[in-house]
Structure 1
């Protein structure tokens, strides 16, 4: 039984091209080293002694830079190619992480976070476009999930290692590790993968994917962006307000917070690929899967209203992880499949911008609610927004059905 289960699990990883595996490997290396983000709000609040409002504004600068980078990455990927953008983005952001640790003023950090994220997040839309080139059309959704799996496997290790580094070396060690892994990852990519141009429509790709309308008139796509923006905004509380809540309500250390965040990465690593494979085989409506994810995210915050039992943090992480599994890989696939040939960068740039905007609103909104009304009010607001995303996903499904289009 165990052997057959393992065989079935590993069968989900067959059929990928070599380039897809290399993309997954460098993504893992990069994400395992990305230890700054989960502890950034704690670093700003507890080490640099900024107020909640100042922390919120620095995170706003983080999100604005991310939005600009996502837009630039998408536009430039269509104009000069994803390959050059990926190499420039990771190598330069790695250097900038080394510099960031020496900036301690409020305005300096606002400018520094904006700049580093404007460069670092050019990578994301370029990477999505690369999958449209290197992955076979028939397993593109699984390729997206494989890269996300690498992200979460790295994230499962990263926060725990980050907590240990903080205890042993201080926060400065995180910046050195993060910058080094960015540079190492992209050097592996540059030496292992040759640049490949996009080619005309491949055999197996449906002509129906070509949508002649302007992206700005694609109403279902914009509703998808709005839905994912809400889910991401709520989910990202995991990296901003939840680490503070762990310490202030339950007295958890950075190591304990790292362990909880690692549970999220581990669950995604174990469950996402099998779930994606099952939905592909059974051709389950992807928009409905996204709606289940929105519901799980909402419940993940509503359950935090029970604040007298520390184990509720584990249950919340499990629900949020399920929400991530059901929402993000399928929304990636829907967005990429809806993009016309030659406009993948533009579509995926706007798609990743929705996540960047979510970072902005998430940080400032969550921290301001906590500062004025407390954690309980914040969980009610975030859970209610998760339910709004559920309603939007149902509406999106009806829109797609009304245009006689099976959700991609």
Structure 2
């Protein structure tokens, strides 16, 4: 095995721009105040629950479109420019949301808000790789994820405090954090360099990507595993309530995932970076599948918490490795677009996972959790092929 720097040396050796990028990612996730309260806001404005749910789905469709558009922009106009455009346009769309009155206009603005808010994601993921030496890329990816999860944990709580003063403050605070990230990007992130396509390359970039069978297999595996982990926000809640626990217990147990990632994931890379990406990701996917499969026998809060810990270990192993693996597969001039396809799988899984999971859950809960285990094993096999 190759010699690797210690975790402390890796963190000390991270370029300053990477720390600013991680702080910007924290700001973005922390400041996403509107989304958790969007349905509540719309129903208070006398839109129906169905219309509010449709608006949320349209917002998610914008996220999916942003993955492809953002990856393209990251390669064509640069990572930093894409981040700035994303944050400024996101602030504008967020401030426009409370101004619209009709449902059609609300649909359009919601799609734009979802797209603008996520345009930066492929650019940020590509920039992590651009900024980091090869032996530090895995730790850098984990550090970025830690920043996102800290923001995710703190944001809704802060949003709840802000909304008590009025929804107008909520929209303003969301837009302000986006503009702060944009200013940070202009001041602290490098312009970056664009890579020209190699001579003789033929076909559209999507054709180039989909000719890489390893990448295609990885995308399918990522979609499958993320659809499994998406059960955290849907059927796992139903399982916990069905086991006789109050909603507050679900909130506590759901936080186990983010807490473990924040506390442990960067340290876990000290172990995982010693192995090749594909076998290590396969192990992670097996842990994810096993953790959810064990849910069928878990009814006490402690047992459910342990199953969450099992599949979170799998997530901590596989997710940072996935970013590094995609970067290795991607031609330099297509790195942003490859990252865009990867993040598109995440966005698509957030749509597919809960919908399919609740459908199976309503028929047979045992079938759902067993199926999650099977999906994890198949995803592991796909990345090994």
TM-score range, shorter chain: 0.7 to 0.9
**Cα pair distance change 1:43/1:237, threshold 3 Å:** farther
Q: Is the 8 A contact 2:7 2:270 kept in 1?
A: no
**Cα pair distance change 1:304/1:267, threshold 3 Å:** same
Deviation at 1:87, TM superposition (A): 0.3
Q: Is the 8 A contact 1:42 1:244 kept in 2?
A: no
Q: 1:181 aligns to what? A: 177
Partner Cα distance (1:99, 1:275) in 2: 42
In the TM superposition, what are the counterparts of 1:2-151 in structure 2 within 5 Å?
A: 10-37=8-35, 50=49, 57-100=54-97, 110-151=107-148
Deviation at 1:323, TM superposition (A): 2.8
Q: Is the 8 A contact 2:218 2:383 kept in 1?
A: yes
Q: 2:230 aligns to what? A: 236
Deviation at 1:304, TM superposition (A): 3.7
Partner Cα distance (2:255, 2:170) in 1: 16
Correspondence for 2:191 among 186, 192, 195: 195
Say yes or no: does 1:274 pair with 2:267.
yes
**Cα pair distance change 1:175/1:141, threshold 3 Å:** same
Correspondence for 1:334 among 325, 347, 367: 325
Q: Is the 8 A contact 2:272 2:317 kept in 1?
A: no
Q: Is the 8 A contact 1:302 1:380 kept in 2?
A: no
Q: Is the 8 A contact 2:79 2:124 kept in 1?
A: yes
Deviation at 1:183, TM superposition (A): 1.8
Partner Cα distance (2:138, 2:220) in 1: 21
Deviation at 1:180, TM superposition (A): 2.5
TM-score normalised by the chain length of structure 2: 0.81
Q: Is the 8 A contact 2:295 2:307 kept in 1?
A: yes
Aligned length: 370
Unaligned residue ranges in structure 1 (runs of 5+):
1-7, 201-212, 399-408
Partner Cα distance (2:162, 2:355) in 1: 28
In the TM superposition, what are the counterparts of 1:167-178 in structure 2 within 5 Å?
A: 168-169=164-165, 174-178=170-174
In the TM superposition, what are the counterparts of 1:204-283 in structure 2 within 5 Å?
A: 214-242=208-236, 250-253=245-248, 259-280=252-273, 282=274
TM-score normalised by the chain length of structure 1: 0.77
- Provide the alpha-carbon RMSD of the alignment: 3.5
Say yes or no: does 1:353 pair with 2:344.
yes
In the TM superposition, what are the counterparts of 1:293-312 in structure 2 within 5 Å?
A: 293-306=284-297, 308-312=299-303
